[in-house]
Amino acid sequence: MAVAEMRRISVLIPRREHARLLKALQRFGCVQLSEVERTETELPPWESQQAGTLEEQQNQLHWAINRLSRYDKEKRSMFTPLPGVEQEILAREDHLKAMELVSQVEGLERQNGDLRGEEARLRLQQEQLSPWLEMDIPFNMLKDTAACRVYVGTAPGRGILQLAEDWADRPVVIRRFGSIRESVSFLAISHASQADAFHQALKEIGYQQVVPGTGEETARTQLMRVNEALDGIEEKKNEIVREMELAAAHLPQLRLAFEALSAGKARADARSKMAHTASASLMAGWVPARAAEAMSAKIREEFPDAQVALSLPKEGEEPPVLLDNPALVSPYESVVTGFALPAPGAVDPTAVMMPFFACFFGMMVSDAGYGLMMAILIPILVRIMKPSKGARKLFWILAGGGVMTVVWGALYNTWFGFAPWPTVFDPVNDSLPVMALCIGVGALHLFSGLILGIVQNIRTGKPLDALFDQVSWMLLVIGLGLLALPQTAEAGKWMAIAGAGIILLTAGRNKSKNPLKRLLSGLGALYGVTSWISDLLSYMRLFGMGLATGVIGMVINQLVGMVMSGGIIGIVIGAVIFVGAHLFNAAINILGAYVHACRLQYIEFFGKFYQEGGKPFTPLRFAPRYVRLNDTH
Amino acid sequence: MNLSIGQVLAFAAAALSVTVAGLGSAKGVGLAGQTSAGVSTENPEVNSKLMVLQILPGTQGIYGFLIAVIILVNTGALTGSIKAVELMQGFAFLAAVIPVAVVGCLSAIYQAKVASAGMLMVGQHPEMSGKAITMTVMVETYAVLALLASFLMVNAIRL
């Protein structure tokens, strides 16, 4: 239960060995490299260039994987675990073949783009040709002759009909194509002698000249050609899909190559933090104290030429923060890191927080049936899904919450909304004891926060601060609480007065030298009593959320009871409703319980003592994205 | 069936509790959903984190429903034989649902605004989703307090 102690580690190694050293460190996964102080701060250009190339290739691979995933026939459900691989595979550096595949995918994608452009062009042509299909004259023959004038275009349907009627007995031919609509495509031929008058008449009805096409073929033949071309494009596109599907079969290799590249990128970044001369390389970093000796022994064993030195952090150096807790507690570290890491040297609240978190969670979900499901199903799910480390932590938190939910559900006597036996705490009909219980648990939570504050102050050599800032408040709050009972009122009065006195006199000790001003800020601090009241009241949510689950569960059962009274069909529908509605109720309450349990830690509990501000410990290691590392040890 | 005015007022109280708080939650979840959709188009990977933020303003509607159910249970409406409710008790029911209805409705909308802002933050910095959720849950406190006040009042009306 603590923030892990850190040691400085530095390794001096022949330059030709440094790449192998980085690989070994990555395999060990527990050294975080830090910048070695160098005289020249500029990196050699080829070095940053190399990192840049790696990143570019990484992006290309990522793109190709995303693109190919659409063609991946192998569908994976959310319950299938990621494929497991050995570390050695990720340390390989043969991504050349993968990059070939990437450029093949890029080529296919380019072809696909070209085809789409071509298709759009042909579709447009198809649309232009379609009105002229009935015109059986090749386009290049639509020309004026010595005796005739030719007009091709569109005009309003009504106007064309009128025109045909008006000019019926003159040397003019009008042929309409398609049905009469708002706008009609037509071909008209007039004798040259009538040309001017006819053109004028056409203009009046709204004639617009159109060039439907060129060439020696009719519209119909041209359209046939266009359709053939479109079929060809469709064919080619299918061909591309087939090739993409073939390439998608190589996805596992691509993913592995991506992981290897990422690992290489991590090493390149680490490498740029080292200092190199022509013949030697120097590495500096952090290693958890617990693993430090073993680590340096391992390095010495694998690299007989290396010089390894361990040392305590220097004054003023801020080591990275790693939380180190026993297996039962460690899932809850994710709750702490979700807020902020503790400052180096501050207390790690995880172990103290854990029982409260699980207890609050249980009080809010508060249905023993739901709790049983969580406690049983989640470990099975973890078995099947083999989730990543982060997700696994969340799963275990929920499972632990499930166990506490069974406890509280049994006390509240709620099993899937039913109440099978006598109730210990009945929030609906006798709510005051339950409320008092919630406030009581809250007070315990806040006090344990104060105790952590005392531990922290004593550990940093400030026992007086512990007396002034924490013990004083404990006296005051407990004293005020005791005032409520007549038997203890007298003792409570004196405790409260003592506490208030200490706060009044000491709260302003660092603010000013002027005693009057100190007293004033002491008074201001005493006003903090109100925040204690609101903090305590905040725990009423434990009651409210618990009540919500129970009552809604009860309503569901009543509804189901009504439906089920309607014969066989009613029983079937009722069973479906029962399962669905309880799943919904459980889901929404588990979410609410998790979120509110977090909030009670972050605001109420951490507010009493927490010193945040640590930087996370990020060792050089394999952090795969698409695969899962097999446990080697 | 002859209903007294008191019984009708009790029903009106239950109806108001569900309706007003529910409207607020619907508006809130809708608002948050719009933001969620917008942020997801920019950054699809954070979508699941946004889901939690979107649901949060929905709890007020549940609280309203809860109080309505408790009124119906206490008046015996669910068991089929409605108890006698005096006129003043009916008004007391109406008064009792004010916190959960009004605070529930407005706090859901305010909470949705915080949730939306939080979503924008998560879109840029996915690792800050814990903080965004905490900020959003801050607003919820007052809805919980309103729920408790309404609950205590409703339970204090002995029929």
| Chain A closest-CA separation from residue B58 CA (Å) | 10
**Distance separating alpha carbons of residues B108 and A617, to the nearest angstrom:** 39
Which among A247, A239, A304, A323 is positioned nearest to A6, based on CA atoms? A323
- For residues A207 and A160, is the Cβ–Cβ distance under 8 A? no
Looking at residue A4, what DSSP letter applies? Answer: P
Alpha carbons A231 and A238: distance in angstroms, whole number:
11
Sign of CA dihedral A599, A604, A606, A607: positive
User: In this structure, are A371 and A451 located in the same domain?
Assistant: yes
A518 and A381 share a domain? no
Nearest CA to B56 out of B145, B121, B138, B127 is that of: B138
E runs forming strands in A157-256 = 172-177, 183-191, 208-209
* Helix/strand/coil for A264: helix
* Contact (CB, 8 A) for A1 and A329: yes
B77 touches chain A (CB under 8 A): no
- Full 3-state SS string of A569-605: HHHHHHHHHHHHHHHHHHHHHHHHHHHHHHHHHHHHH
Q: Quick check: helix, strand or coil at residue B127? A: helix
Flag if A558 and B131 touch (Cβ within 8 Å).
no
Distance CA B77, CA B82 (A): 5
Q: CB count, 10 Å around CB of A304?
A: 7
The domain total for chain A is: 3
Per the structure block, which two tokens stand in for A205?
């009805």
Domain endpoint, select from A505, A538, A571? A538
Is B63 touching A (CB cutoff 8 A)?
A: yes
Q: Which domain holds residue A496?
A: 462-538
Q: Residue ranges per domain, chain B?
A: 5-156
Q: Which of A370-379, A470-479, A484-493 has the highest mean pLDDT?
A: A370-379
A443 and A371 within one domain: yes
Question: What is the secondary structure of B38-51 as a DSSP string?
Answer: HHHHH-GGGHHHHH
Written as six digits, the tokens of A159 are 């106007």
Q: Tell if the CB–CB gap between A598 and B138 is shorter than 8 Å.
A: no
**What H or E segment, with its residue span, contains residue A285?**
strand A280-288
Neighbour count for residue A627 (Cβ, 10 Å) = 18
CATH of the domain at A157: 3.30.70.2750
Report yes or no: B149 at the A interface, CB cutoff 8 Å.
no
B59 neighbourhood in chain A, CB within 8 Å: 548, 588, 592
- HEC states along A610-622? CCECCCECCCCCC
pLDDT exceeds cutoff 70 at A591: yes
What are the angstrom distances between the C-alpha of A244 and each of A74, A110, A232, A429, A525?
14, 12, 18, 65, 69
Chain B residue numbers with beta carbons less than 8 Å from the beta carbon of A341 are: none
The answer regarding whether domain B5-156 maps to CATH 1.20.120.610 reads: yes
- The reply to whether B51 touches chain A by the CB within 8 Å rule is no
Q: Is A588 in the same domain as A473?
A: no
Residue A451: strand, helix, or coil: helix
* Cβ proximity of A513 and A528 under 8 Å: no
| pLDDT cut 90: percent of chain A above it | 26
Q: For residue A631, what pLDDT band results from cuts at 50, 70 and 90?
A: low
- What is the mean pLDDT of the segment spanning A581-600? 90
Q: Which tens digits make up the pLDDT trace of A417-456?
A: 888 888 888 887 788 888 889 999 999 999 999 999 888 8
Determine whether A630 is exposed, middle or buried from the number of CB atoms within 10 Å of its CB (0-12, 13-18, 19+).
exposed
Q: Tokens for B16, please give them.
A: 């108001």
In a domain, A564, yes or no: yes
Same domain, A340 and A429: yes
Residue-wise pLDDT for A66-80, tens only, equals 888 888 877 666 677
3-state secondary structure A58-115: HHHHHHHHHHHHCCCCCCCCCCCCCCEECHHHHCCCCCHHHHHHHHHHHHHHHHHHHH
CA distances to A20, A49, A269, B76 from A55, rounded to whole Å, are: 21, 10, 11, 69
For residue range A454-479, list pLDDT tens digits in order.
888 888 888 888 888 888 888 888 88
Chains A, B: CB contacts within 8 A come to 66
| pLDDT value of position A45 | 60
Do A330 and A454 fall within a single domain?
A: yes
- Interface contact A544-B147, CB threshold 8 A: yes
What pLDDT sits at residue A374?
94
Q: What is the ipTM of this complex?
A: 0.78
B159 — contact with chain A (CB < 8 Å)?
no
pLDDT for residue A113 is more than 90:
yes
Report whether A588 contacts A559 (CB < 8 A): no
pLDDT of residue A385: 83
A431 to B70: CB separation less than 8 angstroms, yes or no: no
Q: According to the model, what pLDDT value does residue A420 have?
A: 83
Among A182, A217, A252, the domain-final residue is A217
pLDDT at A47: 67
> What is the pLDDT at residue A40?
61
**Residue that has been written with the tokens 């009581």 in this structure:** A440
Helix/strand/coil for A38: coil
Regarding whether A172 and A185 lie in a shared domain, the answer is yes
**Are A527 and A579 contained in the same domain?**
no
Q: Residues with Cβ < 8 Å from B15, sequence gap 6 or more?
A: B68
Kindly identify which residue of chain A lies nearest to residue B66, measuring between CA atoms.
A548
Query: Does residue A485 form part of some domain?
Result: yes
On whether both A340 and A442 belong to a single domain, the answer is yes
Q: Is the separation of the CB atoms in A385 and A79 below 8 Å?
A: yes
Q: Which residue of B has its CA nearest to A338?
A: B130
3-state helix, strand, coil split of chain A in percent (to 5) is 65, 10, 25
Distance CA A185, CA A111 (A): 37
Cβ B131–A547 below 8 Å, yes or no?
no
DSSP letter at B102? I
Residue A519 has pLDDT above 70, yes or no: yes
pLDDT in tens, A558-569: 889 888 887 888
Q: In A273-388, which residue ranges form alpha helices assigned H by DSSP?
A: 289-302, 333-339, 350-365, 368-385
One domain, residues A332 and A405: yes
In a domain, A93, yes or no: no
Residues in chain B closer than 8 A to A561 (CB atoms): none
Query: Residues B29, B110: contact at Cβ < 8 Å?
Result: no
Is it the case that residue A335 has pLDDT exceeding 60? yes
CA of B148 vs chain A CAs: smallest distance (Å): 6
> Is the CB of residue B133 less than 8 Å away from at least one CB of chain A?
yes
Are A449 and A574 part of one and the same domain?
Answer: yes
Is residue A468 located within the same domain as residue A592? no
Query: What pLDDT is attached to residue B89?
Result: 93
Name the closest residue on chain B to residue A599, using Cα atoms: B134
Q: Are A543 and B148 in contact (CB under 8 A)?
A: yes
Give CA–CA dist B3/A176, Å, rounded: 77
A598 contacts B133? CB cut-off 8 A: yes
Please give the pLDDT value at position A632. Answer: 52
Confidence of residue A633 (pLDDT cuts 50, 70, 90): very low
Percent helix, strand and coil across chain B, each rounded to 5?
Answer: 85, 0, 15
Regions of chain B short of the pLDDT cut 50: none
C-alpha to C-alpha distance for A547 and B86, rounded to whole angstroms? 27
In angstroms, the CA A540 to CA A434 distance is 9
A390 vs B90: which has the higher pLDDT: B90
Q: Any idea which residue has 């490299």 for tokens?
A: A33
The DSSP bridge partners found for residue A308 are: A11
Q: Tell whether A473 is covered by a domain.
A: yes
User: Who contacts B72 (Cβ-Cβ below 8 Å, separation ≥6)?
Assistant: B14, B78
How open is the CA angle A249-A255-A260, to the nearest 5 degrees?
Answer: 140
In one letter, which amino acid is A596? H
